[in-house]
Amino acid sequence: MSEHRDILAYLPQRPPFLFIDTIEELSEKNARTRYTISENCPLLSDGILPLAGLMENAAQTCSVIAGNRIAYLGAIKQMEVKRFPRVEETLCTEAVVRQQMLNISLIECTTRVQDETIVTTTLKIATMDNNATK
Amino acid sequence: MLQNSFYDIVHSDQGGYTIRFNASHPIFSGHFPERPIVPGACIVQIAEELAALTYGYPICFTAIRDLKFRQPITPDQEVTIRVRKATESTCEVLCADSKNEQQLIISFKIYTI
């Protein structure tokens, strides 16, 4: 569990559905995360992380920007996978807020393995104040 | 592969699959601990598995366009997922409540290889 120590304060997801290990950078407008694909990842398919897993990694990276507000993935405008990563490879995913209107953010995500860009995603995230739901 | 662990197919007809979730699957303990909800990404993974059944050979989703999540899905909810081949390399996926297929929950377009 200790490897998830940094992330648990920022996301409501818990293992085995956690697709981020650490937050490398965080501001109001961007976040950069790392995730080493675990062999226990529930979306692994023959040792490869399929599009669905890459989507969850991007969505959770976007959610980190929301901080203690609740973030909902509302839409994915586009997502393109250039290469599917294997178990044990480390994803570095960067999310940048491009537009914001009321509680909806349009966010661009890029996922790299070392210097190679393997996924680009454009998502819409809606946020809600945490206390509004309680 | 999520089939037969995270979900089961309870009915199928002409490219449409009605599925039931396994509420005791570990995914639900992480998404979310006090409020289990079917992760949207799991619906995409399930659609990839159902696309293989629809087409009769393995399908790999490589790109998505215009995915919309309209409402959350709870573990006790049955949904019907339809994969419609649009062109040689694209398909459309619709996920609706199985009791009322007019009530669309998730829809998206997929590029495949």
Contacting residues of A for B40, CB less than 8 Å apart? 55, 59, 73
Which tops the pLDDT comparison, A112 or A72?
A112
Q: What CATH number does the domain located at B7-112 have?
A: 3.10.129.10
What is the tally of structural domains in chain A? Answer: 1
Size of interface A-B (CB pairs under 8 A): 84
pLDDT digit string, tens, across residues A59-82: 999 999 988 788 889 999 999 999
Alpha-helical regions (H) of chain A:
51-65
CATH of the domain at A105: 3.10.129.10
pLDDT digit string, tens, across residues B30-51: 999 999 999 999 999 999 999 9
- Tell me, what's the ipTM? 0.96
Q: Are A13 and B44 a contacting pair at CB < 8 A?
A: no
B30, B42, B44 ranked by CB distance to A18: nearest: B30
B29, B30, B48 ranked by CB distance to A52: nearest: B48
Residues spanned by the domain of A67: 2-132
Nearest CA in chain A to B33: A14
Which tops the pLDDT comparison, A69 or A133?
A69
The DSSP code sequence of chain B is --BTTTEEEEEEETTEEEEEE-TTSHHHHHS-TTS----HHHHHHHHHHHHHHHHTS---EEEEEEEEE-S---TT--EEEEEEEEETTEEEEEEEETTEEEEEEEEEEEEE-
Tell me the pTM: 0.94
Q: Are strands B79-87 and B16-21 parallel, antiparallel or unpaired?
A: antiparallel
